[in-house]
């Protein structure tokens, strides 16, 4: 790997334009365990390893860019969620964060259920052998064909998102001679993002049926009268990358209030509530996510308390973490191609991937960190922006971070916490080839989603 020197950019950039950064870390070679998958370490001789394998070896074998997923970390997180919620609750992994057949098998082995939100996710789940009764089917506009497949397969629940869908699923189930277990997704008027939540008037969105104005109560009324449906509960999902439990508390309270209203009106106690996903992870050292057992306790306590005061038996709780399980378990490995110091601003470091393998920075202004992983360096920190190879100035992977000022083309850098919503939202922009996902565990690495090839691109192009 080349180690040639190049003109270093500004070290600390006293000139700061838009963007966010704090001081450079004390030791650029250190890997903060908060943001890296559990088995990622820097050994005494300076090599970075995951699952016991040096990343330089992984790069040689699998190429870059590539996502490397720490399988034992993934499994440990599944178990932590399952243990935290215990046998009286259900954990559904949200497949939209990242889904593949291997993931489905791990979920089964670790005792988790699966939330899917499209025919494609349903196919992957069933193909990998997930029992249909352990699948929840979501989405605000499921097609008739998707609903038919889900009902025929015997999915454990369909989460109904609109009045049309209540009638549609009931009709399809009846036609197929089935009684489909369903939940109704309600909009509780809470919108939560990262450290904040707002508990007013967030019904202005496409998901769910509003509690406000009696809409949700009307949805329950209809669902209870339809023969094709077995209404098992109420569902609420309030947002994603959330740290503040207060939003979940308001949501749980409002869902329990609806259960009490349903009991009063119909004499029926719905047995389940689903509080969705959305728990945040650490993308940078500044984030402090909650542990699954804290989350389970906070949610369990509030539901129990609210049910006691409403005179209801405590329903079975389910949750749907996606990011919190897979997010921290993977990193993206890139090779540095060009380095452009911009006097008085920052140094642009271009890598061999970009917005096609991580759209989150461009789309959500997401924050990531980055580290040099093919060697150690004692050079001064240099403020960098890691950018991709796409024809777009918004093609940013890491907005502001520090890398050693002797960084050179050919160095390998890795961006941690890219397990969720990176491969699953990857694109072929500029005819980029979507990178592989390589699972690493106990000294073994195997491709679970292969790298796309130019033949893959041409195969779709039938004109």
By beta-carbon proximity to ligand LLP, the closer residue of 205 and 453 is 205
Residue tagged active-site, from 78, 117, 307, 391: 391
- Per-residue x/- track, 386-415, ligand LLP (CB under 6 A): ------------------------------
Scanning 81-89, 146-154, 275-283, 388-396 for contacts with ligand LLP by CB under 6 A, the matching segment is 275-283
Strand (E) or helix (H) holding 19: none
Contact 70, 38 (CB under 8 A): yes
Alpha helices in 51-209 (DSSP H): 55-62, 71-85, 101-109, 119-127, 144-153, 163-175
The DSSP symbol for 450 reads: P
Angle 82-121-366 from CA coordinates, rounded to 5°: 75
The total of other beta-carbon atoms located within 10 Å of residue 461's CB is 7
Q: Which of 77, 254, 323, 346 binds ligand LLP (CB under 6 A)?
A: 323
How buried is residue 60: exposed, middle or buried, by Cβ count under 10 Å (0-12/13-18/19+)?
Answer: exposed
Q: Which range, of 73-81, 186-194, 214-222, 274-282, touches ligand LLP by CB under 6 A?
A: 274-282
Strands annotated E in 172-295: 180-187, 191-194, 196-198, 209-210, 229-235, 239-242, 272-274
CA distances from 349 to 2, 72, 193, 337, 402 (A): 15, 32, 30, 8, 11
* Interface region with ligand LLP, contact rule CB under 6 A, candidates 55-63, 215-223, 322-330, 453-461: 322-330
Of 174, 165, 163, the C-alpha closest to 221 is 163
Query: Does the footprint of ligand LLP cover residue 240 (CB under 6 A)?
Result: yes
Tokens for 307?
A: 């049910």
In 3D space, the residue among 216, 231, 79, 107 whose CA is nearest the CA of residue 169 turns out to be 231
Tokens of 12: 């600390």
- The length of the chain is 463
Longest dimension (CA), the chain: 76
- Is 9 one of the binding residues for ligand LLP (CB under 6 A)? no
For residue 117, indicate whether it is catalytic: no
Provide the mask over 340-379, with x wherever binding to ligand LLP is found by CB under 6 A and - wherever it is not.
--------------------x---x---------------
Stretch that binds ligand LLP, among 63-71, 234-242, 338-346, 385-393 (CB under 6 A): 234-242
Rounded to a whole number of angstroms, the minimum distance from the CB of residue 281 to ligand LLP is 9
Query: Site mask, ligand LLP, residues 95-134, x = CB under 6 A?
Result: -xx-----------------x-------------------
Show the site string, 439-458: x = touches ligand LLP by CB under 6 A, - = not: --------------------
Whole-number minimum distance, CB 129 to ligand LLP, in Å? 22
Question: Does residue number 416 form part of the binding site for ligand LLP (CB under 6 A)?
Answer: no
Choice between 77 and 96, CB closer to ligand LLP = 96
Span of 186-194, 302-310, 317-325, 375-383 interacting with ligand LLP by CB under 6 A: 317-325
* Among 90, 130, 415, residue whose Cα is nearest residue 277: 90
By CB under 6 A, residue 139 contacts ligand LLP: no
Phi first, then psi: what are they for 269, rounded to 5°?
-100, 110
Comparing CB distances to ligand LLP, the nearer of 300 and 322 is 322
193 binds ligand LLP (CB under 6 A): no
Pick 324 or 437: Cβ nearer ligand LLP: 324
Q: Give the footprint of ligand LLP on this chain (CB under 6 A).
A: 94, 96-97, 115, 138, 237, 240-241, 276-279, 320-324, 360, 364, 420-421
Name the residues annotated as catalytic.
Answer: 391
């Amino acid at each position: 790997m080349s180690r040639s020197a190049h003109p270093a950019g500004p070290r600390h950039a006293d000139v700061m334009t838009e963007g966010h950064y704090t001081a450079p870390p004390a030791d650029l070679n250190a890997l903060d365990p908060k943001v890296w998958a559990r088995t990622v370490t820097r050994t005494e001789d300076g090599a970075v390893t995951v699952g016991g394998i040096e990343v330089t070896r992984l790069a040689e074998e699998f190429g870059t860019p590539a996502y490397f997923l720490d399988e034992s970390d993934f499994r440990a997180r599944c178990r932590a969620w399952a243990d935290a919620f215990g046998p009286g609750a259900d954990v559904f992994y949200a497949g939209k964060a990242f889904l593949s057949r291997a993931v489905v098998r791990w979920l089964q082995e670790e005792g988790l259920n699966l939330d899917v939100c499209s025919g494609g996710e349903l196919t992957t789940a069933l193909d990998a052998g997930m029992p249909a009764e352990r699948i929840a089917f979501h989405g605000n506009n499921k097609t008739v064909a998707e609903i038919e497949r889900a009902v025929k397969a015997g999915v454990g629940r369909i989460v109904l998102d609109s009045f049309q869908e209540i009638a549609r699923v009931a009709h399809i189930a009846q036609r197929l001679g089935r009684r489909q277990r369903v939940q109704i997704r309600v909009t509780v008027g809470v919108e939560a993002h990262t450290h904040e939540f707002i508990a007013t008037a967030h019904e202005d969105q496409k998901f769910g049926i509003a509690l406000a104005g009696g809409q949700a109560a009307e949805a329950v009324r209809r669902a209870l009268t339809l023969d094709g449906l077995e209404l098992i509960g109420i569902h609420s999902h309030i947002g994603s990358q959330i740290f503040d439990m207060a939003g979940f508390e308001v949501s749980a309270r409002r869902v329990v209030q609806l259960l009490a209203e349903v009991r009063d009106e119909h004499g029926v106690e719905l047995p389940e509530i689903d509080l969705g996903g959305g728990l945040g992870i650490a993308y940078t050292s500044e984030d402090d996510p909650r542990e699954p057992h804290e989350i389970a306790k906070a949610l369990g306590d509030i539901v129990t308390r609210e049910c006691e005061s409403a005179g209801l038996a405590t329903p079975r709780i389910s949750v749907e973490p996606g990011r919190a399980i897979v997010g921290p378990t993977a990193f993206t490995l890139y090779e540095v191609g060009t380095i452009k110091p911009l006097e008085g601003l920052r140094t642009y470091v271009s890598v061999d991937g970009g917005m096609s393998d991580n759209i989150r920075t461009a789309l959500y202004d997401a924050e990531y960190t980055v580290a040099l992983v093919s060697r150690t360096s004692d050079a001064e920190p240099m403020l960098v922006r890691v950018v991709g190879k796409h024809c777009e100035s918004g093609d940013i992977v890491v907005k502001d971070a520090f890398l050693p000022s002797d960084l050179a083309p050919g160095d390998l850098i890795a961006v941690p916490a890219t397990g969720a919503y990176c491969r699953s939202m990857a694109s072929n922009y500029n005819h980029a080839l979507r990178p592989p996902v390589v699972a690493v565990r106990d000294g073994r690495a195997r491709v679970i989603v292969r790298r796309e090839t130019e033949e893959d691109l041409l195969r779709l192009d039938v004109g």
